[in-house]
Structures are given as C-alpha cells and as structure tokens.
Amino acid sequence: MLTTFAVPAATGMVALAMALSLWRLVRGPSRPDRILALDTLNVNAIALVMLLDIGLGTAVYFEAALIVAMMGFVGTVALCKFLLSGDIIE
Amino acid sequence: MPGEILVSLLLLVGGGFTLLGSVGLARLPDFFTRMHGPTKATTLGVGAIVLASLAHVGAREDGAGLRELAITLFLFITAPVTAHLLSKAALAEARRRDAAQGAGAGAPPPGE
C-alpha cells in the first residue's frame, strides 16, 4: 500500500504550509499581506479536507471542501472590498 | 498497483507545491512578489490533490469522482478575481500610506 505512506507525507507537507501561512498571517507587515495569508490558509484547508477524503477512502467530505472554497472566496472578497472603500456593502 | 503509484505521485506533487507556495508566501520580500507564491498552491497543489482523489475514489464508485473537479474549476475561476482585488487593495493601501507621509516621499505609485 503506497498510499499509506503518501497520504501522511502529503498531510505533513500541507500542515507545514499552513504553519508558514499562519506565521505570515501573524507577522504580515501590511493588511493585504494578512488577507493573502488568510486566503492561502483557506486553500490549504481545502487540500487538507481532500487529503482526509483520500485517507478515509470516502467521498463524504467533498461537500465540506466545496463549502470551504466558497466561504473563503466570499470572505477574501469582503475583506478586500473593506480595504478598498472602507465599506463592504455600499 | 499502477493506480496506487499514480495516486501517491499526485499526492506528493500536490503536497510539495502547496508547501512551496507557502514557503514563497513566508520568504519573499515584497507584497507583490508574495502574491505570486500561493498561486502555485492554488492551481498545481490543490489541482494535483483533487486529481489524486479523483483517481482514488472515482476508480471504485463510478460517477462519484467527477464532482470533485468542481472544486478545481471553482478555484480556477475565483483565483484571478481574488488576485485582482488583492492587488487593488494593496495599491490603495500604499497610496494611502504615501499620502499620509506627504507628497514627494518615495516614488509615485504605479498605475493611474
């Protein structure tokens, strides 16, 4: 079983990537840096949910990954709009 | 067994590119260079992991795997919109900072 090695290895890499994005989120000098770090964290969370799907051998968490993707996009757009105009809904 | 090798290879490629994107996000010196790193995590990283999931699950239950391409499609559609808005926000932020420091401080902002 090759995937018994590959799934934990990929999970470790994605977890390390999330730690690096979290470091940028905490440290980021400007506000767009923090938004970018949050967006990256979101993409990494999608990858992590897909990895959980593969590790368990099911397709149950597919909807969770899709919802994380949609909510992340809406959140990033809202934060960018807030930086641009100081208001989310005009 | 060839399926296992394909799934493992795609998983390692996806995890590697995701890690690479975040290393770029953490290490690059400037916001606009930092924006370029995580795009690899979005397209190649998640794309490869979704393809691995497609090969792993879709091989057994027919028709169940194709839905997972929706995530990749959604990410491919939304990534340029996010990048555009982020760069606009960063430009507005830089312009605001320059205006606060007073005219003549540093180079004028690009664009306009």
pTM of the full structure: 0.85
ipTM of predicted complex: 0.87
Q: What is the pLDDT of residue A33?
A: 92
Q: Are A2 and B11 in contact (CB under 8 A)?
A: no
**Domain assignment of residue A90, yes or no:** no
Contact A54 B14 (CB under 8 A): no
Contact B82 A58 (CB under 8 A): no
* Total number of domains constituting chain A: 1
Does A22 lie at the interface with B, CB-CB under 8 angstroms? no
Contact A83 B92 (CB under 8 A): yes
Query: A49 is in which domain, residue-wise?
Result: 3-85
Contact A17 B19 (CB under 8 A): yes
Q: Is the pLDDT of residue B20 over 70?
A: yes
Domain CATH for A76: 1.10.287
Q: How far is CA B17 from the centre of its chain?
A: 10
Q: Please give the C-alpha separations between residue B68 and each of A62, B42, B54, B102, in angstroms, as whole numbers.
A: 7, 15, 7, 51
**Domain assignment of residue A69, yes or no:** yes
**Domain assignment of residue A74, yes or no:** yes
Q: Please give the C-alpha separations between residue A27 and each of B18, B49, B92, B94, in angstroms, as whole numbers.
A: 20, 29, 21, 18
Nearest CA in chain A to B30: A33
Q: pLDDT digits over B24-48, tens only? A: 999 888 888 999 888 888 889 999 9
